Structure 1
Amino acid sequence: MTNSSNTLHLVCGKIAAGKSTLARDLSANPQVILINEDTWLSRLYPDEINTIPDYIRCSSRLRSIMEDHVQQLLQAGLSVVLDFPANTQNIRQWMLGISTRAGVQNCLHYLEASDAVCKKRLHARNAAGSHEFNPTDEQFDELTAYFVPPKVDEGLEIKRTKVFDK
């Protein structure tokens, strides 16, 4: 049974596509809780995430803690914006499991953007120092190689948005 009054919002897109900005916008309502992976990782593991294996290790630890917490928030009648990159099928299935166990609807917000648009936005973001994570172009390319666009048959409600250069 699904509770239609609350939702688990998920964000998917390449680095600098606008996931965190969208997540903040989605959480403007007081009944919506925002949980941002980059914030948690930067505070729990300062100076420990320098490689993709470091990120995978620390992110796995955080997900194991957050899973029950997010489910409890949803079951308490709140909506949650999970600002963790839903960029692989395995991560999306983990997220789908949370909404299924909580009995709430989900919405995967997929921001479609080209590498060129994302890199331009990344350079501006890095120059402004406005984000906890400031990857280089090489790190962008390395992480983008893991990106898998969502498919309809994954069981998630997908909302696609094309992202263009401003």
Structure 2
Amino acid sequence: MNTHQQAAHLVFGPTAAGKSTFARKLAAETNGVRFAIDEWMLAMFGSDAPKTMDMAWVMPRVARCQTQIWSVAEQILGTGTDVVLELGLLRKSDRSAIKAKVEQAGYTAVFHFVDADLETRRERVLRRNAEKGATYSFEVTPVMFEAMESYFERPADGELSGFVAR
């Protein structure tokens, strides 16, 4: 199999860690094309979202968006352009699966773990909800924040080897 120099930059971390800000900067630095799961979820399913968000509704839709994003990203990689994928990647199995897809296609997977302390992240969510700025896609309620916090699997030391931590 041919291996290409193009990279899929895989940005992940807990809610409000700074992933979107980092991904935008990285896309500019690499002249890459950025994909953000929150933006796709809003565009594809925002008007259909239930009043009370639950993981049973969210996660199948996230998976469908991720599949479509990868389909487009793989085509972009084929043109010689890097991609920056901010796909959630909340679980180790999610990270392993996308790494396998990238490598199976002959490209390089570069992980970027973005993190911040819990209180900083809580403050960022409140500020983002109020300001509705560039990185705002939807309101993250305290209940949603806690649900995402409990769903996110922090990378273990072994998983972090070869990752870029921010």
TM-score by length of 1: 0.86
**Structure 1 alignment gaps of length 5 or more:** 162-166
Please give the residue correspondences for 1:49-128 in structure 2 after superposition, counting only pairs within 5 Å: 49=49, 50-128=53-131
Q: Alpha carbon RMSD of aligned pairs, Å?
A: 2.0
Identity of aligned residues (%): 25
- In the alignment of these two chains, the number of paired residues is 160
**Letter paired with 1:149:** R
Once residues 13 and 30 of structure 1 are traced to their aligned partners in structure 2, the CA distance between those partners, rounded to angstroms, is 20
> Aligned residue for 2:3?
2
Residues 108 and 156 of structure 1 are in contact (CA less than 8 Å); yes or no, is this contact kept in structure 2?
no
Q: What's the CA shift for 1:152?
A: 5.7
- Letter of the structure 2 residue corresponding to residue 40 of structure 1: W
Q: Give, in angstroms, the shift of residue 30 of structure 1.
A: 7.3
Higher normalized strand content (fraction of residues):
1
From the superposition, tell whether residues 30 and 142 of structure 1 become closer, same or farther in structure 2 (CA, over 3 Å).
closer
Amino acid at match of 1:135: V
Indicate yes or no: 2:125 matched with 1:148: no
Distance 1:74 1:89 in 2: 24
User: Could you say if the C-alpha distance between residues 141 and 155 of structure 1 is closer, same or farther in structure 2, counting changes exceeding 3 Å?
Assistant: closer
Gap runs ≥5 in structure 2: none
Q: Please list every run of at least 4 consecutive aligned residues from structure 1 whose deviation after the TM superposition is greater than 6 angstroms.
A: none
Equivalent residues of 1:37, 1:83 under 8 A apart: yes
SS for the counterpart of 1:53 is helix
What amino acid is aligned across from residue 139 of structure 1 in structure 2? M
Q: 2:4 is aligned with what amino acid?
A: N
Q: In the alignment, what sits opposite 1:11?
A: 11
Q: Secondary structure at the match of 1:150?
A: coil
Q: Which has the higher helix share?
A: 2
